[in-house]
Amino acid sequence: MSLENNSLNDFFVLSAILTGFDKVELLGRGVGQQYYQQLLEVIDNEMAKELWELTEEIVKDSDGNEEKLEELTRNQILSSPKFGPIARNIIQMWYLGSWIEMSESWATQYGAKTSPTHVISSETYIQGLVWDVIESHPQAAKQPGFASWAHTPNSKL
Amino acid sequence: MTEKKYDVVIVGAGISGAILAKTISKAGYKVLMLEAGLDQGMELDSQKAYLNYQSYLNTYYNANAKVPNSPYPDLLNAPSPNVLQYNQITGNIPDTSGYFVQKGPLPFASDYTRTPGGTTLHWLGTCLRMLPNDFRLKSAYGHGVDWPISYDDLKPYYEMAEYEIGVSANVEEQKYPGTNENFFGKDYVFPMKKIPQSYLDKYFNRHLKNTSIILDNQEYPLYVTSTPQGRNSIPNDSYKLSGPKWESEKSRLALQYSESTSYDPVGSIWDPYTGQRCEGNSSCVPICPVQAKYNALKTIKSANRKNLDIITQAVASKIEVDSTTGRITGVTYKKYPDPNSAQYTTEVARGTIYVVAAHSVETAKLLLASGVGNSSDQVGRNLMDHMVMLVWGLMPEKIFGFRGPGSSSNIPVFRDGTFRSQHSAFIMPIDNWGWNWPTGAPNSNLSDAVVNKNLFGKKLRNYINDTVTRQFNLHFEFEQLPEATNRVTIDTSYMDRLGNYRPVIEYNVSNYTRSAFVTAQDIKTQIFAKMGVYDFTKYNTTDSDYFTYENTGYSFYGAGHLVGTHRMGFTKADSVVNREQRTWDHENLYLVGCGNMPTLGTSNPTLTMAALAFWGAENIIKALK
């Protein structure tokens, strides 16, 4: 999957900032495209375009400074009544593999659609980041093997 | 359908029906098994079995709420109860939102699965034997009733059950209150070595050293024991049993001993090399992706299939009886060709002997619908379950939950004792999956961190890693006494779309059990203090099974341990089946299942039910001769 498509690349850049995982790690999950598509079922192209422009702007303005990037993300995106809720949903999507239903009033106000809470696909469930972060594996998948639970997990976080 | 006559007709293809079918077909008799669930769920061979099971797994992955029945088809023609549909019951208005019609006052909290293999598809797999005093609760403690059989009577059948299920345990570690060195047979070992205890179990054990609870002026030192379970592990080289086989000359069922025998773990039904060991999928409830956990399809698959016919999508609706002789003449069933349509044809299954093994609630329901076997008025009554009270918090250190089988150890200290004259016994399983059950962790913690705590990026990762890895959850599972007013009944106002009855349930929890919750809370306080736990336990007044006792509120869940609804007894006046598990009222009608159990004790009832199923099979073969 190529990221020549600027919008898709911006989605990954924003996802990396929001999730705390590197773009490369997120690409490696193999489900980013499904998340991108799910997002575009809820917000229209114009709102998406605004969000990507905002992302590019804060990356440029922070100029490699982690703290500055965090501050700008918080101020421009997370606390924005328009983009905050979407950004929080993007985080939950990556961590849980599910789309969480957003509020009716937000959707109405910003011309977006609502979608009920649902697991996006089997693969997204399996690739949920939350399991890695708790040093485990998704229930019913990626089984670590007999007796693995008897010891502390051996992961690099 | 053919009106061929069989030696034995069995209603239900769960573990009881499967053990009966296997044992009786292998003894040379012709068996018919009727199962309400889908054709494709009964695929036993290779590709179709694999594809069907993968479809269950796929349904699970995509389920929003990963509750016990979530992977399995919900059939309108043979509905299963759904824990998501249980609500508080207000006043006299029954809650009819689910399959059960709940009259209360408390909603009955457990579920079961109507599908080939039955509830063993979603069970945890814990395989504990009942304790000797559980069989004599009335004589020993003045509560409940006595069984017409003793623990010692059931012992040989427990060994058969442990063989058939494939139980992993270290016998020398099994120390239970109220038992002595003869509890297990001399030199008895389990087929496989114990499932390794989790890191959390070992942490608990270390920190609870030298901790005692004082109850009723007696001291109870706490200790942690590994839990025997029906889950594949390393075979035990000392295990020399196979069978059980019907020994015609001795007129009995017996395990076969041979020095050259070695135990082979039974893997998945589609491929024997898959599932030979637990692989740590951490999803036993509701589904083991590799079938390292036992399910009853394995037993059905190893029956004598030349002597066994199975009809699926066949919902038994009436047991036909000859009113003059009292003999059962057939089982009428509704055969539906398409699960998406209410269309069905009516057929009758005929045999010499009939067995209903449809699970406690469904068996009682069928008997009531047929007006059969109920001279005692006990059919449907004495419904019991374990009340599960969860306590949860954060350990001071990371214990890395959400890994391994749902539970690999328990604290057995309060499974028996003189306190049973005052209140319920209880068992304390250690839960390996963090706060998953009480709060929906880790998802709930993640969403809370993002939405309420406004965390993102690396700070979010660190917060989740630091807190969720310290989550643990401890169960208190309380025995419930048999009570005539806890019951399943039927009512023509409440039918399913095939025209069969829905179970109507009246249910409550007595003070004998409620008062045990108080003791349990004291124990929890002491344990949490000893281990430095940050307590997060919270019972909400809106929980469906919330109750108050002595001005304190508690919530419980159902354990899925439904028993008692057609109990065994000494006389026909107050029981439904005799010690042979034959109904008192009908010479050729047997009932096999947890419904036969007059008391519950503190063990998950499946192992006891399997033992009773072997004994039932033996009795039936004797009757056929």
Please give the Cα distance from B351 to B338 (Å, whole number). Answer: 27
Q: For the whole model, what pTM was predicted? A: 0.97
pLDDT tens-digit series, residues B190-210:
999 999 999 999 999 999 999
H/E segment holding residue B356: strand B345-356
Average pLDDT, chain B: 97
pLDDT for res A5: 78
Contact A151/B at CB under 8 A? yes
The predicted model gives B391-401 an average pLDDT of 98
Q: Does the beta-carbon distance from B456 to A18 stay under 8 Å?
A: yes
Chain mean position to CA B225 = 20
Pairing state between β B225-226 and B409-411 = antiparallel
- Distance (Å) from the C-alpha of residue A58 to the closest C-alpha of chain B? 15
- Distance (Å) from the C-alpha of residue B469 to the closest C-alpha of chain A? 6
Q: Does the beta-carbon distance from A150 to B402 stay under 8 Å?
A: no
Q: Does the beta-carbon distance from A143 to B279 stay under 8 Å?
A: yes
pLDDT bucket at B4, cuts 50 / 70 / 90 = confident
Please give the Cα distance from B520 to A135 (Å, whole number). Answer: 32
pLDDT bucket at B1, cuts 50 / 70 / 90 = very low
pLDDT for res A3: 59
Indicate the length of chain B as a whole number. Answer: 625
Tell me the percentage of chain A whose pLDDT exceeds 90: 94
Q: Report the residue of chain A nearest B289, measured CA to CA.
A: A140
Q: How many CB atoms lie within 10 A of CB B526?
A: 16
Indicate the length of chain A as a whole number. Answer: 157
The answer on pLDDT for B620 being more than 70 is: yes
Q: ipTM for the complex? A: 0.97
Name the more confident of A134 and B46: A134
Contact B446, A92 (CB under 8 A): yes
Please give the Cα distance from B174 to B170 (Å, whole number). Answer: 7
Contact A58/B at CB under 8 A? no
| Residue whose pair of structure tokens reads 């023609």 in the numeric block | B77
- Distance (Å) from the C-alpha of residue B58 to the closest C-alpha of chain A? 6
Q: Does the beta-carbon distance from B443 to A96 stay under 8 Å?
A: yes
What SS3 string covers B440-498? CCCHHHHHHHHHCCCCCHHHHHHHHHHHHCCEEEEEEEECCCCCCCCEEECCCCCECCC
The answer on pLDDT for B392 being more than 80 is: yes
Contact B473, B434 (CB under 8 A): yes
Contact B439/A at CB under 8 A? no
Contact B287/A at CB under 8 A? yes
pLDDT for res B463: 98
pLDDT tens-digit series, residues B297-338:
999 999 999 999 999 999 999 999 999 999 999 999 999 999
pLDDT bucket at A2, cuts 50 / 70 / 90 = low
The predicted model gives B40-51 an average pLDDT of 93
Least Cα distance to B424 among B223, B134, B107, B227 occurs for B134
Q: Does the beta-carbon distance from A20 to B461 stay under 8 Å?
A: yes
The predicted model gives B257-273 an average pLDDT of 96
The answer on pLDDT for B220 being more than 80 is: yes
Please give the Cα distance from B320 to B200 (Å, whole number). Answer: 53
Burial profile A45-71: b = 16 or more Cβ within 10 angstroms, e = fewer: eebbeebbebbeebbeebeeeeeebbe
DSSP letters spanning B613-624:
HHHHHHHHHHHH
Amino acid at B145: V
Percent of chain B as helix, strand, coil, to the nearest 5: 25, 20, 50
Q: Give B401's contacts in chain A (Cβ within 8 Å).
A: 136
Please give the Cα distance from B479 to B602 (Å, whole number). Answer: 6
Cα dihedral: B184, B189, B192, B193 (round 10) = 90
Residues 255-284 of B with CB under 8 A from A: 277-283
Least Cα distance to B239 among B191, B184, B170 occurs for B191
Using DSSP, state whether A2 is helix, strand or coil. coil
Q: Which of B66, B280, B434 sits opposite A148 (nearest CB)?
A: B280
Using DSSP, state whether B244 is helix, strand or coil. strand
pLDDT tens-digit series, residues B442-496:
999 999 999 999 999 999 999 999 999 999 999 999 999 999 999 999 999 999 9
pLDDT bucket at B260, cuts 50 / 70 / 90 = very high
Contact B601, B614 (CB under 8 A): no
pLDDT tens-digit series, residues B159-184:
999 999 999 999 999 999 999 999 99
Contact B406/A at CB under 8 A? no
Residues 516-535 of B with CB under 8 A from A: none
| Residue whose pair of structure tokens reads 């669930």 in the numeric block | B37
pLDDT for res B2: 52
Contact A135/B at CB under 8 A? yes
The predicted model gives B241-260 an average pLDDT of 95
